[in-house]
Amino acid sequence: MLMFRCAEHDRFACLCQLRNSSFFLRGWNSKREDVYRVVKAFSARGEQTSAEQKCFIQCLVRDFERNGLNLTTSKREELLRLRVQIEELSLRYIQNLNDDGTFIPFSEVELDGLPKEFFESLDKTENGKFKVVMRSHHTAAVLEHCKVGTTRRMVAMAYGKRCGEVNLSILENLVHLRHKFARLQGYSNYADYAVHYRMARSSAKVFEFLENISDSLTDLAAKELASLKNLKKQEEGESPFGIEDLLYYVKRAEDQEFNLDFVTVKQYFPVSLVLSGIFKIMQDLFGLRFEEVIDAEVWHYDVKLYSVFDLNSGELIGYFFLDLYAREEKYIHTCVVALQSSALLSNGTRQIPVALLISQLQNDVDGHAGLMRFTEVVNLFHEFGHVVQHVCNRASFTRISGLRVDPDFVEIPAQILENWCYESVSLKLLSGFHQDITVPIKDEVCESLKKWRHSFSALKLKQEVLYCLFDQIIHCAENVDIIELFKHLHSKVMLGLPMLEGTNPASCFPSSAIGYEAACYSRVWSEVFSADIFVSKFRGNLLNQYIGLQFRNKVLAPGGAKEPIDVLSDFLGREPSIQAFIDSKAECSL
């Protein structure tokens, strides 16, 4: 390649020419020792002309060194062996859960409270009982709707025992191998390795954050738990309240408090109207104009392509595809995929970012408008936040452009925008009765949705913090008794509620085994800081384009070219705080 033939003083110029090519987008380049030596040498000379160039070079060096290019050959080979072992064990762990066919047979009486549609979805045993399979969609339905306490307890215990000792042993081995992997790279434990290049920077900071959140919510969570215990006492007498009762009595309390009929609410969210409302809000807030590309070449007739223009200058700043509707063999998750990132090319022009938003909505049927559940409205708004985040980015290098930013930061913009789904002024832009779209959703429903959002949120968050602490501890210390640790944390964090006897935390919480190991805190982290930004800047200014443009230019445009904490501090005028998040929970408490 040209890069390796040029003179020393030209090496970075050649690097810049290749910075946005497919070469730097493929994973294999970060395993090339010859490329690493060139990048490392340039980094050591410190001749970067801007903070953005420095950040880009640091990211490249980090990518190489995370693949062991700074280690001796023998250590690099050991690193590779460990990575292969970790991948194999992770796949085995997931396969065990996928292959687990455990079910419990129940009579209709034992499943009292479940809707008719649930019974219709169940297979039956030879003696006519209904099979409740230990899968999340079955167990969640039972734990949320079943009136029979013994049934809820049986299902919760069986779900928590999936794969028994097998996956527990795998998780213990995974944690051990991860610690070895981290130590080879100079870290004392895997948690510090995983967190080092995130906003949190260290496991100690993560612990401090989680404990502050948990402690701040203790009084409110205790009040919430007391109200649930009273509700159970009214319905089931003196039967003790257990963790298996949480979902059911939260729903019972919410039904009594808010009287929200989500079937009726759905009638106010036709897909086309929600989409036009999102376009309107994003236009007014961020100064964007959306225009459908007619006769675009797409992979299915339901898919649409849109151009995004700056409203003031008319400049084309991006494209995005919308693949909204469910169909057979389609990828099943709702998400945004970055197809091409913004970047400066070697000829001085800007590479146009392109995003793809995938969802699973129901299309129009027999002339009837496709309608969205409220949770689908929130999810679509969230994902559209990622689209805006991607196309508004102005970084010069694809490596730090668009959605390729700090994992602790990447969800913050989209989580901020979720707030628009709970405010009356924006909900009216998103809604309209499907038989007469000029009739928006009622003000009292908007208010109920806002309160419902935060109902029992302290107790729910306590449970999430429990899992985050468990995840951090097992990845900070070796030879931890995982079951005893979980028992201890469960009682401490969940206000004395004991873990169900015999359940296996390795099955209860697979994210710590694969996918988010030592990083489960990140969702809570981004939710906390998004609350601070919304309350400080946007609440009461939902369609204020001056503030929206500040957010677009200061938060979305830099991408990964600046430290996330500096990005947020620049926008807020101070360092981010957890207080707005805590206050938001208390404001809407029961």
Which positions are annotated as active-site residues? 383
Name the residue among 441, 392, 434 with its Cα closest to residue 417.
Answer: 392
In this structure, the chain runs to a length of 590
d(Cα 459, Cα 334) in Å, to the nearest integer?
Answer: 27
Q: Is 134 exposed, middle or buried (0-12, 13-18, 19+ CB in 10 A)?
A: buried
| Cβ atoms 387, 368 nearer than 8 A | no
H or E element at residue 133: strand 130-133
What is residue 148's three-state secondary structure? coil
Per-residue burial over 280-316, b = 16 or more CB atoms within 10 Å of its CB, e = otherwise: ebbbbbbbbbbeeeeeeeeeeeebbbbbbbbbeeeee
Measure the CA–CA gap between 569 and 554, rounded to whole angstroms: 10
DSSP string, 351-400: EPPEEEEEEEEPPPBTTBPPB--HHHHHHHHHHHHHHHHHHT---SSGGG
How far is the C-alpha of 172 from the C-alpha of 481, rounded, in Å? 9
**SS3 string of 48-94?**
CCCHHHHHHHHHHHHHHHHCCCCCCHHHHHHHHHHHHHHHHHHHHHH
Q: Which amino acid is at 515?
A: G
CA–CA separation, 476 and 192 (whole Å): 7
Residue 301, CA distances (Å) to 296, 322, 337 in order:
10, 11, 19
